[in-house]
């Protein structure tokens, strides 16, 4: 950006935290209704940033105590948000609380933020710790027949091909002398392709989140300004500025968001959820909730969409694998076939003093939660689907073995739409979806037969 804007320097993340917090309060805080739920949501969103900064500071200084404080802070705010999403359906009265800025001003601010964030993705260099991942990519492209049996344990579940992309951090709180990775073990052409692919996918994912937010505001909320407000608030968050280039953060969130956009087309929504499951595994826990939403109408189309997407991802792995052994290993990683105790821990559960055995009761409580959401409430509307989806993705952060609590883009787009949403009680599957061909055929068969008049 300094080549385009004279003496432009990227804003330090800590400085951006202060500036974006003040700007968010000026735009969205309801000064005439201080005790409104909107103001509580805004305060919780602002409180996410201190925990993120503490985690990065502790990692840079190799100070586990500071990292511990940061993760505990993040988990506290995440728990508050999860409870807020679980009780969102009980809030029947939802007054229209519009932003404090005109629609034109919001559009200008959002477009400006988007341009700067995308420019940061293009001009940033991959993190130094991504060199090993890029080296693994070159081995895979060379069709190396060796299978890394520990890859699932080290990297966690997810789509194997996505792990080959380098991590591009658009803002670093602290920088050392090595700002990028040395390509000594990676072919230059291969490294350039992986970096270009990572940048392109990150930009496309962020654009998909913004456009999907606007589309939901226009189509489902029938109030485009609410969608614009949610998109602007997402672009303002310090987390978005810091993690803009992380494909593993943005892509699953974009897929889940567009599944909400396409909820009236169960097959498409199921395919998008299936893609999200294949890329990051954890959206698999959304299936009981979404199947419950479509139970009265659309369940067959939704399940077919999920299976079709997972099948396509598996076929791609088959054609990119040199032999059956490699294919089965990659398939195992995509579906997360590993016992919780065998995973290599990173983040909160890897810190000294945090016994990993306590992940098991947390996981058990999470499974109880998603089972409860599958049966309660019995009839789910679009608002319930959105808030409970955000709650499930929030809950997965507590037991995630690899940097749990930091993958905020998984739930933030849907969560922000819940913050701004109107009353959606009439958006139920039975009323909004057309019957599938099988139901229509059965109805046609049951129609009364009228013979010729005698």
pLDDT at 131: 44
pLDDT at 89: 87
Per-residue DSSP letters for 283-311?
Answer: GGGGHHHHHHHTTTTTHHHHHHHHHHHHH
pLDDT at 164: 80
Helices then strands, counting H and E runs in the chain, come out as 19, 0
pLDDT at 11: 81
pLDDT at 10: 77
Residue 176 phi, psi (nearest 5): -100, -170
Lookup: tokens for 135: 């080296």
Residue 32 or 75, more confident: 75
Q: Which of 340, 305, 335 is nearest to 160 (CA)?
A: 335
Q: Does the pLDDT value for residue 60 go beyond 90?
A: no
pLDDT tens-digit readout, 141-198 = 444 434 454 677 777 888 888 888 877 766 655 554 444 444 444 456 667 888 888 8
Residue 95: Cβ-neighbour burial (10 angstroms; 0-12, 13-18, 19+): exposed
pLDDT at 137: 46
pLDDT at 359: 93
Taking the C-alpha atoms of residue 176 and residue 298, their distance in angstroms, rounded to an integer, is 53
- pLDDT-wise least confident of 42-56, 175-189, 412-426: 175-189
Residue 212 phi, psi (nearest 5): -65, -40
Lookup: tokens for 408: 């905020």
pLDDT at 238: 93
Q: Which of 113, 96, 6, 61 is nearest to 420 (CA)?
A: 96
What is the arithmetic mean of pLDDT over 226-237?
96
pLDDT at 408: 96
Per-residue DSSP letters for 164-206?
Answer: GSPP--S--SS--S--S--GGGS-HHHHHHHHHHHHHHHHHHH
Domain boundaries, the chain: 107-171+187-443
pLDDT at 235: 96
pLDDT at 120: 87
Q: Does the pLDDT value for residue 439 go beyond 90?
A: no
């Amino acid at each position: 950006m300094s080549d385009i804007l004279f003496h432009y320097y990227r804003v330090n993340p800590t400085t951006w935290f202060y500036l974006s917090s003040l700007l968010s309060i000026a735009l969205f805080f309801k000064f005439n209704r201080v005790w409104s739920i909107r103001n509580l949501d805004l305060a919780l969103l602002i409180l996410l940033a201190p925990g993120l900064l503490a985690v990065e500071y502790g990692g840079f200084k190799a100070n586990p105590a500071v990292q511990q404080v940061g993760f505990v802070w993040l988990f506290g705010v995440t728990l508050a948000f999860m409870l807020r999403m679980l009780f969102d359906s009980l809030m029947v009265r939802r007054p229209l609380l519009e932003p404090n800025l005109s629609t034109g001003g919001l559009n200008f601010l959002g477009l400006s933020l988007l341009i700067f964030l995308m420019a940061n993705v293009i001009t940033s260099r991959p993190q130094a710790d991504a060199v090993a991942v890029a080296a693994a990519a070159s081995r895979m492209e060379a069709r190396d027949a060796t299978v890394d049996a520990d890859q699932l344990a080290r990297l966690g579940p997810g789509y194997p091909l996505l792990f080959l992309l380098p991590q591009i951090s658009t803002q670093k709180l602290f920088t050392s002398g090595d700002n990028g990775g040395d390509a000594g073990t990676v072919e230059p052409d291969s490294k350039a392709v992986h970096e270009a692919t990572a940048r392109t996918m990150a930009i496309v994912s962020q654009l998909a989140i913004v456009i999907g937010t606007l589309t939901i505001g226009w189509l489902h909320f029938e109030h485009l300004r609410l969608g614009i407000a949610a998109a602007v608030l997402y672009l303002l968050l310090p987390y978005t500025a810091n993690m803009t280039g992380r494909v593993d953060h943005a892509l699953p969130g974009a897929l889940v968001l567009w599944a909400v956009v396409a909820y009236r087309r169960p097959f498409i929504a199921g395919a998008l959820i299936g893609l999200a499951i294949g890329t990051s595994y954890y959206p698999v826990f959304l299936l009981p909730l979404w199947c419950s939403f479509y139970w009265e109408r659309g369940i067959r189309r939704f399940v077919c969409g999920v299976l079709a997407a997972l099948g396509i991802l598996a076929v791609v792995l088959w054609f990119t694998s040199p032999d059956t052994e490699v294919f089965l290993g990659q398939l195992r990683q995509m579906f997360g076939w590993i016992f919780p105790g065998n995973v290599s821990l990173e983040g909160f559960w890897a810190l000294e003093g945090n016994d990993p055995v306590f992940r098991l009761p947390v996981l058990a409580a999470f499974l109880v939660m998603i089972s409860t959401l599958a049966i309660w409430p019995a009839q789910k509307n679009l608002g319930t689907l959105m808030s409970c989806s955000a709650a499930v993705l929030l809950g997965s952060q507590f037991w995630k073995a690899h940097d749990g609590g930091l993958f905020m883009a998984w739930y933030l787009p849907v969560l922000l739409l819940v913050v701004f949403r109107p009353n959606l009680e009439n958006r139920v599957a039975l009323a909004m979806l057309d019957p599938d061909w099988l139901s229509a055929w059965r109805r046609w068969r049951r129609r009364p037969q009228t013979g010729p008049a005698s």
